Amino acid sequence: MQAQTTANTLSREQIEAKKKALADEKAQLPKPYHPETNAEVDIKNAIKSAKKEHKNVLIQAGGNWCIWCLRFNNFVQQTPELKKMVDENFVYYHLNWSPENKNEEIFARYGNPGDKFGYPVFIILDETGHEIHIQDSALLEEGSGYSPEKVKEFFNAWKPKKS
């Protein structure tokens, strides 16, 4: 009986330790989402930039509350090869979904992909603003992070076709 109680105590302690580690990680990661901004205007500007630069728009939908959203952004920014791929091929925008600003009209325009896949979810637009792909981020995961190979494949599959 005592062994079972000790196991339960350790289990609770382990859970609390994991929660603390997660909170510490989240506190240290950059916060790329801005609930106060006008996403409608931001996306229009991203499309204008994409058209001028002959890029696609990579919308990462999520929020600063989402550890996987923060991990993906940090992973791309801290991995030179991935950052270069994004910088050369996409206008990268973080579409906020949070209690402060759910951007319901914009999410509805893209079929509310977060409801289906969770967050982050990626919306790819061509340079004219036409939606060409919705990506479930779970397919890019590996362990407690993201797979460099899977993310490279994703970026390569949806970069603009150069003539």
Q: What is the pLDDT of residues 63-93, one digit of tens each?
A: 999 999 999 999 999 999 999 999 999 999 9
The answer to whether 86 touches 155, Cβ cutoff 8 Å, is: yes
Q: In terms of pLDDT, which residue wins out, 26 or 1? A: 26
Tokens of 17: 């330790």
Q: How confident is the model at residue 4 (pLDDT cuts 50, 70, 90)?
A: very low
pTM for the whole thing?
Answer: 0.90
Q: How far apart are CA 155 and CA 153, in angstroms?
A: 6
The pLDDT value given to residue 3: 46
